[in-house]
Structures are given as structure tokens and as C-alpha cells.
Structure 1
Amino acid sequence: MTSDSEKYWYNLSTGQVEKGFASPAVDRAGPFDTAEEAAKAPDILRERSRAWADDDAQEDAWGTATDEKGE
């Protein structure tokens, strides 16, 4: 098992991939096992955010009445 200090991070401020704790935690997304995964962080974060928003919308709509058309 590799410690997080040996993994890759995406720097949200600079857009650069970094290995280890090169930047303050507030500026880092990760950890990722490879530099290639870390480089895809913006896409991964966007997709996760979209999925969370969809889940929240489904939870908010739970129990609401809809007509036969789903409206």
C-alpha cells in the first residue's frame, strides 16, 4: 500500500499534476495512483458532481406525486 505522500495530486490552482504533498491541501484534489489519472481530475470531479446533483434531485423528489407522463 502506497502512502498518500507518494501518490499523485491535481493542483486546482495551477492545473498541474504533482507527486506528494507539494501544495497546500486546499489546492489539491486526489490522491490518484497515476499521473495520468490525476491529469483527468477536472473531468472526474465534474462527473462526480453531476452524479451527486442527480442523486440529490432524486432524493428531493422522493414521494412527490407525478402523473402518468412522469410530470
Structure 2
Amino acid sequence: MTTEQQYWYNTETGEVEEGRRSSWTHLMGPYASRAEAQQALDSAKSRNESWEQDDEEWRNK
């Protein structure tokens, strides 16, 4: 178990939680900071767009 505080983004409420308090089905994380957790959806969107572009490039080879 880690002694560092972890933050989670709750996709149901749109709130950042300190420590995991909600069902894992609604959480993204853990993140090292509140700011990282607040950007969870933007980070996921950016990663997905990058992966989709990589997939498209691979399909067109």
C-alpha cells in the first residue's frame, strides 16, 4: 500500500476524489495530483485520438 495521496476522477459525478471512495466502475485513475485527475477525460480523449490515427495509418500501409 502506498503512503502517497492518490486522486481519482469519478465519471459519474465529474468530481475528483482523494482516495478511492466510489465504485471502480465510475473511476479513472489513480493520478498523482488533483490537477492530473481533473484532466482525466481530456487525457483519455487525446490518447484515443492518437491511437485512432495510428490505427488508420497502419490500415493504409
Q: TM-score range by the shorter chain?
A: 0.7 to 0.9
2:60 corresponding residue in structure 1 = 61
Runs of 5+ consecutive residues of structure 1 not aligned to the other structure: 63-71
TM-score using structure 2 length? 0.85
Question: Does 2:23 align with 1:7?
Answer: no
Match of 1:69 in 2: none
Match of 1:36 in 2: 35
- Structure 1 length-normalised TM: 0.74
Q: Which residue of 2 aligns with 1:46?
A: 45
Q: Any idea what the Cα deviations from partners look like across 1:16-55, whole Å, max 9, x if unmatched?
A: 0001211111111111100111011111111011011111
Q: When the two structures are aligned, how many residues end up with a matched partner?
A: 60
Structure 1 runs (4+) deviating above 4 angstroms are: none
Report sequence identity in percent.
33
